[in-house]
Amino acid sequence: MENIRLKHLNFAQYQSEITSLLTENHLPVNDLDSGLRYFIGAFSDEKLTGFAALEGTGDYGLFRSLVVSEEFRSSGIGKKIHDALLTHSLVEGFKKLYLLTTTADTYFAKQGWIVVQRDTVPDSIKKTEEFSSICPSAAVCMEFNLPLEKQEIAGWLFKAGFNCAQSVFLPFALELGMKPEHALKLTTGFGAGMVYRGETCGAVTGAMMAIGLLYGRNVAADTGARDKTYDLINRYYKDFKNINGSILCKELLKVDLSTDEGKMEANHKGLFENLCPKLIRDSVILSGEILKKA
């Protein structure tokens, strides 16, 4: 498992390997180059060992073709692929996912999927090739409800590996129509107190950016927008400090993340698993309340 890595796949580049893996496991291949919008693969060294795909538009997505080569089964690769594709679905703004399976309903139930009647599925999913013609009518239809509340989305993103600033900012950015890839790239450099400098907490920076995205000025002469944004951010600062005592990463965590020793101490104390998610949740809730009242 040490050498396993996940990455987004360009279908044209990996078409042969994807097709072979699916064919070996008796999964459909005839619509791979049509409606699918995202492919994720697991690699051992340079060999493709697992794969899944996603299609759909709007609020609903179709989870497709989760498969792991026989020699790597029972290694946890399938769950890693599954979880990564769910996270990508969340980033893309999907609210619910659907799948059809003839053999793996027990596995998916353990991952949080529930069985639903096929006729309850949204029309956009029913119209896909998989639903309309590929999978047999006897296939089990399942649904996964992705988190809808911003603080739950942020917590999921952080657990999946995004930094604190990305996790706080993205739910607001999606709601305001910003492209997810732009939102995530923009906030990459603000995690861990400004890239392990111990400065302003990334959860705080993400909230500042969310407030600015909604109310900030884009015309130099618009001092009203500037002043309103400054006022809202100052109110947010006050509320966050009242709850947590500081807005600085080094004071919140009480470790120095700029050193290897500090990072080790933070890991040993479980700060990234316990304290950081709380700070992220606080930040999303506080900034959300301020934006609602503005």
- State the CATH class of domain 4-145: alpha beta
pLDDT in tens, 46-102: 889 999 999 988 999 999 989 999 888 888 999 999 999 999 999 999 999 999 999
User: For the whole model, what pTM was predicted?
Assistant: 0.90
For residue 66 the two structure tokens come to 């989760």
DSSP string, 134-198: IS-TTSEEEEEE---SHHHHHHHHHHHT--HHHHHHHHHHHHTT--HHHHHHHHGGGHHHHHHSS
Judge contact between 18 and 39, C-beta under 8 A.
Answer: yes
What is the per-residue pLDDT for 251?
97
Range(s) of the chain covered by CATH 3.40.630.30: 4-145
What is the per-residue pLDDT for 35?
65
What is the per-residue pLDDT for 73?
86
Give CA–CA dist 14/20, Å, rounded.
10
What is the per-residue pLDDT for 135?
82
